[in-house]
Amino acid sequence: MILSELHLRNFRNYEDLTVHFAPGVNVLIGHNAQGKTNMLEAIYALSLTRSHRTNNNRELINWKHKSAAISGIVQKTSGRVPLELEFTSKGKRAKVNHLEQARLSTYVGQLNAILFAPEDLSLVKGAPALRRHFMDMEFSQMSSKYLYNAGQYRNLLRQRNKYLKQLKYGQQHDKVLLGVLSDQLAAYGAEVVIARYQFLKHLEKWASQLHKKISLNAEELKLYYATQLKLNEKTTVEQAYRELLGLYQSHIEWEIDKGTTMYGPQRDDIHFMVNGKNVQSFGSQGQQRTTALSVKLAEIDLMKEQTGEYPLLLLDDVLSELDTIRQTHLLTAFQDKVQTFLTTTSLNDVARQLIHQPKIFEIEHGTLSKGETQ
């Protein structure tokens, strides 16, 4: 898929901007705090209906105005798709082909994008919550079913945790309702866990190949889904549901005492193993970065495999964080494969040599120069 046109109205420091992109590599050059990352944020939001930098929609709206809008034209194998997204104080509105979507979940997946920023290099060594967020964001773009089940699970989890606290402090006494919430939570939790397990198996296939190439065949990467359930390739959703429900039922008093849900996908993690060793605990910084790079790049092929379309690749000032070898592998991995948006303060010699005819835009104070192909 290709984002051929983007229009921003009152989004961050862009008051009124229309830009046409190249199908290959689009380079956004400018000093810090000029609006480069804001541009990538807008593309990411057009894809997922949310920012990767804030949960407060008000921060996306130019301070002089009460609403902001992002619209774009996506070229897919099935044809041309106009997308529109509006942010107001009352919430968000999304349109596909000029038709408003009743639920945002029906909008997500129209435009798929992979964001790779410096903080993503902490995917391996960061907190488990970072890796759970990674799974939810990426897998939701590939499967509307996953997006729905994960959303339902989060809503029920909030309800169950609130009720557990009420039971703990004597504000409620009815454990029958807790049983109902546990049953519903286990049903959606099982769907999420099985989908994550299966997606990670597919992701491992692509990431392992890339990691081996970057390490010059010296390292083998494996991904393990660390969950409280006993899973294997034959585990069904029904089996996972019964096991998770059993954990809730057998630990009722403990969870009431804690005032929170102690089991389920909100406790899960990913373990990255290189040559049989956990790279998070025992790997060098170089191995951790190579692993993160391999996993992020593997998403490109995984999305193509799952959706039939290559996603957009958003690279937010990530070249400055990589050495020459990893820069080379990153830049050659997406050439002639995916439409790419790259922000940087300047293109170094490696990038200039490896990027084929980039369309370069200069950004200053929320304005873009006319893109030039070099």
Residue 18 in marked binding region: no
Structure confidence at residue 369 (pLDDT):
79
Residue 30 in marked binding region: yes
Cα–Cα distance between 54 and 359 in angstroms, integer? Answer: 29
Residue 34 in marked binding region: yes
Structure confidence at residue 310 (pLDDT):
94
| Distance between first and last Cα of the chain | 23
Strands 312-316 and 340-344: parallel
Cα–Cα distance between 281 and 226 in angstroms, integer? Answer: 15
Torsional sign, CA 166, 168, 172, 176: positive
Amino acid sitting at position 368: L
Strands 340-344 and 25-29: parallel
CATH numbers and ranges of domains, the chain: 1-112+309-373 (3.40.50.300)
Cα–Cα distance between 12 and 300 in angstroms, integer? Answer: 28
Q: For residue 61, what is the DSSP state? A: B
- Dihedral of CA atoms 129, 278, 186, 110 in degrees, nearest 10, equals 60
Predicted structure pTM score: 0.90
CB within 8 Å of 371: residues ≥ 6 apart: 19, 20, 21, 22, 26, 359, 360, 361
Cα–Cα distance between 313 and 74 in angstroms, integer? Answer: 14
Tokens (6 digits) for 75: 């070229």
Q: What is the pLDDT along the chain (374 residues), one digit of tens a residue?
A: 999 999 999 999 999 999 999 999 999 998 888 889 999 999 999 999 999 888 888 899 988 889 999 999 999 998 999 999 999 988 899 999 999 998 888 899 999 999 998 888 889 999 999 999 999 999 999 999 999 999 999 999 999 999 999 999 999 899 999 999 999 999 999 999 999 999 999 999 999 999 999 888 999 999 999 999 999 999 999 999 999 999 999 999 999 999 999 999 999 999 999 999 999 999 999 899 999 999 999 999 999 999 999 999 999 988 888 888 888 888 888 877 899 999 998 888 778 888 888 899 999 888 887 666 55
Put the strands of the sheet holding 99-100 in their side by side order.
Answer: 14-20, 2-11, 67-76, 79-88, 91-96, 99-100
* pLDDT tens digits, 157-185: 999 999 999 999 999 899 999 999 999 99
Residue with tokens 């990893």: 326
Residue 79 in marked binding region: no
Residue 33 in marked binding region: yes
Residue 189 in marked binding region: no
Interior angle at CA 357, CA 343 and CA 17, nearest 5: 50
Tokens (6 digits) for 294: 């391999």
Cα–Cα distance between 10 and 372 in angstroms, integer? Answer: 25
Residue 88 in marked binding region: no
Q: What are phi and psi of 79, to 5 degrees?
A: 135, -170
Q: How many CB atoms lie within 10 A of CB 185?
A: 24
* pLDDT tens digits, 219-261: 999 999 999 999 999 999 999 999 999 999 999 999 999 999 9
Query: How far are the Cα atoms of 94, 128, 157, 189, 362 from residue 267, in angstroms, in the given order?
Result: 32, 8, 12, 11, 44
